Structure 1
Amino acid sequence: MIESGRPDRGALYGRRKGKPLRAGQSARLETLFPKLKLDLAQPAPADATGLFPVSVDAVRIEIGFGGGEHLVAEARRYPNLGFIGVEPFLNGMAKALVAIDELGLNNIRLYDNDAAHVLDWLPPASLVRADLLYPDPWPKKRQWKRRFVSDANLARLVRVIRPGGEFRFASDIDTYVDWTLQHTRRSPDLNWTAERADDWRLPWPNWQSTRYEKKAIREGRIPAYLIFARA
């Protein structure tokens, strides 16, 4: 997954494209993606539920959705909710578009650049939940500034998540889990909800695993699942 952690939103890190796309993927990028892409050049609606062609009760965002496994599964499971998916990696976006088209989902909007752009564009308290699942850990110290979890981006999340909403984070990299806990502790508006070890060791109910998670488990890494409540 590609992400930007810079407060000035000045850069995206990582590859924008991998192996060549299949014909069906390229076709969806040309025809379906323009219909689903958020147009940030336009003023954001006062109510984010107005972003969708169908009536939805509330809106969630998934930042860096990879191949879209979790995003698509959640949108299918909760047709009464609207989902914003952000993924700059072209191959991941193309894969998700195929699934969205084949399932006929109409409660998803997409964006293919820095998630900070979307968070700054949305109106305050417009989301009930934000998911950051298996983000690139940027393990070297000189790369830490690239991590999405930063004081600036947490402030963005606090602004757009309504009180009582949630920020959810999952990772198999223990140093990034610690990093996230340290940064969220500095935010008076985000409270870690765990009361016992199983609250972060076990996946959330109805969890849809991703290919990143399956790879991590195959390689012997143990995921952690964190939920932070917006005060």
Structure 2
Amino acid sequence: MTSADDEHARDAAAPGTGFYGRRKGKPLRALQSQHLAQELPRLQLDLATLGDDLHALFPVPVTSIRLEIGFGGGEHLLAEAARHPGIGFIGAEAFVNGVAKATAGIVEAGLANVRLHGDDVVPLLDRLPAGALEQIDLLYPDPWPKRRHWKRRFVRPDNLDRFARLLAPGGHFRFATDVEDYAAWTLRHLIADARFDWTARVADDWRRPFAGWPGTRYEAKALREGRTPGYYEFRRI
């Protein structure tokens, strides 16, 4: 259940951006605040100085770059970074509490292949060089279930244009949701877009989690409440 203040915050958009929702939640724990103040500056991307070679963002050699949009508490982002130390990961999340948790997790795990963008992702998408990404993950985004709010859903034509520009040929866009209507919405948009190919061939392809899937808090909540998650993958042609 959300409070009236939460609903108001969700209805408020940052002018000229793609972000809708709260920026802050519960007060941060002392250690999270410490990591945020001391460690985030070295992990945070600076859009003003972002160059065309994204590999240079990382102090270790990486063969390719992946982006996760709206990483929540960072469970999936950090698990993937630990599983693929030779791949560079960029995580974008506008919710301060999620950024704080991910920052603490990166420091505690000693991950050198993760960088963060703690703000609206659209300016980042517009700043990244074309064809720079191997993969984009959008996992359990806000479904905006009310019809009048559908325009706020992140899967929409302007953002698909951004994905198509950023993904290298053969790159992948992965989407997960437990909301049947949002799954159908996403499939309608992606199937109609000649730049993407849905990789599923049978129903089990989208009913099964992605390889190495660690789960997320949103998935756990969906399962507790009896909703069935779906996992959708699209290849950039």
- TM value normalised by structure 2: 0.92
Report what 1:29 is aligned to.
Answer: 36
Report what 2:161 is aligned to.
Answer: 155
Matching residue's letter, 1:18: G
Report matched runs for 1:72-87 at 5 Å.
72-87=78-93
Question: What is the number of equivalent residue pairs in this alignment?
Answer: 226
- Runs of 4+ in structure 1 deviating by more than 4 angstroms, as ranges, are none
Matching residue's letter, 2:43: L
The sequence identity of aligned pairs, in percent, is 55
Report what 1:93 is aligned to.
Answer: 99
How has the CA–CA distance of structure 1 residues 193 and 11 changed in structure 2, closer, same or farther, with 3 Å as cutoff? closer
Deviations 1:107-128 (A, max 9, x none): 0110011111111111110000
Write the distance in 1 (CA, Å) between the matches of 2:226 and 2:18: 32
How has the CA–CA distance of structure 1 residues 210 and 125 changed in structure 2, closer, same or farther, with 3 Å as cutoff? same
Q: For the Cα contact (< 8 Å) 1:9–1:117, is it kept in 2?
A: no
Structure 1 or 2: larger helix share? 2
Matched, 1:222 2:191: no
* 1:45 Cα deviation after fit: 2.1
**RMSD of the alignment, in Å?**
1.5
* 1:47 Cα deviation after fit: 2.3
Deviations 1:87-122 (A, max 9, x none): 010111111111101011010110011111111111
Write the distance in 2 (CA, Å) between the matches of 1:140 and 1:33: 35
Q: For the Cα contact (< 8 Å) 1:59–1:126, is it kept in 2?
A: yes
Report what 2:121 is aligned to.
Answer: 115
Matched, 1:183 2:189: yes
Write the distance in 2 (CA, Å) between the matches of 1:122 and 1:40: 9
Matched, 1:14 2:13: no
Report what 1:59 is aligned to.
Answer: 65
Q: For the Cα contact (< 8 Å) 2:137–2:175, is it kept in 1?
A: yes
SS in 2 for 1:18: coil
Matching residue's letter, 2:38: T
Matched, 1:70 2:72: no
Relative contact order higher in (CA < 8 Å, ≥ 6 apart) = 1
- TM value normalised by structure 1: 0.94
* 1:51 Cα deviation after fit: 1.5
How has the CA–CA distance of structure 1 residues 79 and 55 changed in structure 2, closer, same or farther, with 3 Å as cutoff? same
Write the distance in 2 (CA, Å) between the matches of 1:34 and 1:51: 13
- Structure 1 unaligned spans of 5+: none
Report what 2:6 is aligned to.
Answer: none
Write the distance in 2 (CA, Å) between the matches of 1:211 and 1:195: 28
Deviations 1:36-82 (A, max 9, x none): 1110112x322221221211000000000000000000000000000
